[in-house]
Chain A
């Protein structure tokens, strides 16, 4: 199987202090890979390094390849981010309607007639498991959605871009138990169809959702090897 994402000896530094790594792992096409480890190990930082969204002041070293092409560290690589889409931990909903939000990224990345955009949005909302709940009120404000629905809306607007890979950063940690189940269902439904890298601090969740696991340790610890589960 070919690798969608390959990470070799990735380190993230704050001046001279190494915050993360070195980490090496790969994400196979069509797989759901879990990235887990204790808090502070830098799971979210690794995701941000993959899409060049490290907080100001942090630098990365090492080699990252996405779909066979090396990622050159360069500010504002928007095209990369449209291919490998990060869904942050806390669901952020923009002003405007549910449909506006589902199309938020797509509308900027490509030009297409309204009809095509609408079809893509519908497809993405179905894939994220939100379509049934919002099909009658696509034009109502997105703020009216519950927290779990918002997280799935964030998932949908990432899926609408038809990304090569999805990076999910603790998608359920900001949610209550019931919403967590709905979001987990949506993520589980992507298994085998999309390439997903899922960050989670909950080993049980990784077991439930992922094909294989990459374990991150706190910096300084020895073993940083991908362990197929």
Chain B
């Protein structure tokens, strides 16, 4: 008996490395085999609530096509999904379809020949007809004139105010100018352990970009702060925005203690700066009794009124990655998914993110949900008046701005002038590379 056990033990242990090697081998051989035949269709969705929504769509697609099902996973989290996707493409572990691609980044990948041009695929024009207002598709074209992303969501960025605090501070409607906002802020912090605005002192690059872009467009209309010459740090609108942020941190309207003041959880923040529509849903989850109002960010006093302002909207969507599986099948799935409006409604209900559709306000399908969630109307109004940043240096530029300007301002280590000069230098250094 003992001898038998010993033999079993040895065999088991000897098997493990063998299995591991064999497993590795098997993976390699199947991979090489698949490149000649066919890779399974893999799809990276956005994680969290989005995953729940997409699951429904994918499962019903798989039911119809049991032979070639879509294998789906959420995008692995990391410092940013862009980096993850880039690494995945570089290391050959990318999925066939990936969601959550911002247009600027997709165009950057397209320059490196990593994506499939969608407008060359059959039926593209019909598919997008229902999905976007005219002219929009032109604005997301890459330098070579092709479209690489199928927009899935609109993310206009607005301010979400706590209605109770707004009224207590003596405001019926959200403040319009910086000085009005400051008045609101000083009243809010006067009421006790509150802050007025949840500026994130350690904001990631994309959030810094969100702030800057949204404030900038609110004041200037449909003009981008990022161009080929870099970031506009010199115009009076930019200076006014940085001064506004500096003022907020200096006077305690915003706090660096970001774990303490959380709009979503603790009812001690006046407003959420530059938040997407999905935040409304999250607030409701954590604080069911909270009432919120969405509004455009305030504008500098010399602009005066924000009528006709524009806001930032990062358009995110799906792209097909080259050499990672069958393009036809991927396209078939995408067409199927986006020609069925019920999945868009499903997405809206699960995530609170606006599906990219031209008929959001008109289509009766969405009416019920919008009536239940009054904040969302405001977002939809801004859909035609929002725009996203296209510069492919966005990642590097805003990373530089975060280090040179945003964090020093938040922690009050630099004054506005030096911060702006440093930011300009850092951006130029990025462009020089």
Determine if chain A interacts with chain B.
Answer: no
Residues on B lying within 8 angstroms of A by beta carbon are none
Residues on A lying within 8 angstroms of B by beta carbon are none
